[in-house]
Structure 1
Amino acid sequence: MAKSNNNNRNMSVEEAGKKGGEKVSEKYNQEHFEEIGQKGGEKTSEKYNQKHFEDIGQKGGETTSQKKDKEFYQEIGKKGGETTSEKHGEEFYEDIGQKGGNRSRGGRSNR
């Protein structure tokens, strides 16, 4: 265990990690973390193919569905719908409704 400056008591790994994380957070701004996150994402996408991401997405979805209930999915669906409606106007919904109707009719358009 790491020694703490607080009465020379031993610090847990969790406490040491938290303390280190707070120091790093104080040292760097939001932009720094966005930049390193972007770089990490780019490197990861170069390293792995699309099938890899499909596989881990599938596994994650299966794990989530085993752990979460119907109310969880209703709540995130509602939040997603609210966020979408805040970002898009009436025209957006008319357009996607038109596209859905056209697809249902087999691609025929009455426009």
Structure 2
Amino acid sequence: MAKNNNNNRNMSVEEAGKKGGEKVSEKYNQKHFEEIGQKGGEKTSDKYDKQHFEEIGKKGGETVSDKYDQEHFEEIGQKGGETTSQKKDKEFYQEIGQKGGEKTSEKHGEEFYEDIGKKGGRNSNSNR
């Protein structure tokens, strides 16, 4: 254990790490950390391919999914949606809606919309 000179007791690794982190945080500003983070991200991106990031993302997602239940995700989704709606205006939602529609159109094509239109038409006729 690390020696603590304040009262001659031993510090845990966690305490020593926290103390060191606080010192570094006092020494450097946010811009410094953004720059080194950017450099680290670029190095990591150069080192690994897309498949690597997909695999670790999938593993991380599975771990989080195993740890929390559906109610947790509903709660954080609700909170995120509320926060976003408070910060964004109608124009923002129109813009992302249009982008989403365009992407869907590019991905699926005309036939996709014809099929779902027919299904919708059949369902609305059966509800009369």
Query: What TM-score does the superposition give when structure 2 sets the normalisation length?
Result: 0.67
Change in Cα spacing, 1:20 to 1:70, as seen in structure 2 (3 Å) is: closer
Match of 1:18 in 2: 35
Match of 1:105 in 2: 125
Which amino acid in structure 1 is aligned with residue 42 of structure 2? S
What are the within-5 Å matches in structure 2 for residues 30-69 of structure 1?
30-69=50-89
- Structure 2: segments with no counterpart, 5+ residues: 1-22
Match of 1:5 in 2: none
Change in Cα spacing, 1:33 to 1:21, as seen in structure 2 (3 Å) is: farther
Larger Rg: 2
Q: Give the drift of 1:106.
A: 3.1
Q: Give the drift of 1:21.
A: 4.5
Q: Give the drift of 1:66.
A: 1.1
Task: Give, in whole Å, the separation in 2 of the partners of 1:102 and 1:51.
Answer: 34
Q: Give the drift of 1:89.
A: 1.8
Match of 1:89 in 2: 109
Task: Describe the superposition over 1:71-100 as per-residue Cα deviations: whole angstroms up to 9, x where unpaired.
Answer: 000000000010011011221001111121
Task: Give, in whole Å, the separation in 1 of the partners of 2:37 and 2:107.
Answer: 38
Q: Percent identity?
A: 62
Task: Give, in whole Å, the separation in 2 of the partners of 1:75 and 1:65.
Answer: 14
Which stretch shifts more, 29-38 or 74-83?
Answer: 29-38
Match of 1:80 in 2: 100
Task: Give, in whole Å, the separation in 1 of the partners of 2:60 and 2:38.
Answer: 18
- Structure 1: segments with no counterpart, 5+ residues: 3-9
Which has the larger helix fraction? 2
Task: Describe the superposition over 1:49-79 as per-residue Cα deviations: whole angstroms up to 9, x where unpaired.
Answer: 1111111111111111111111000000000
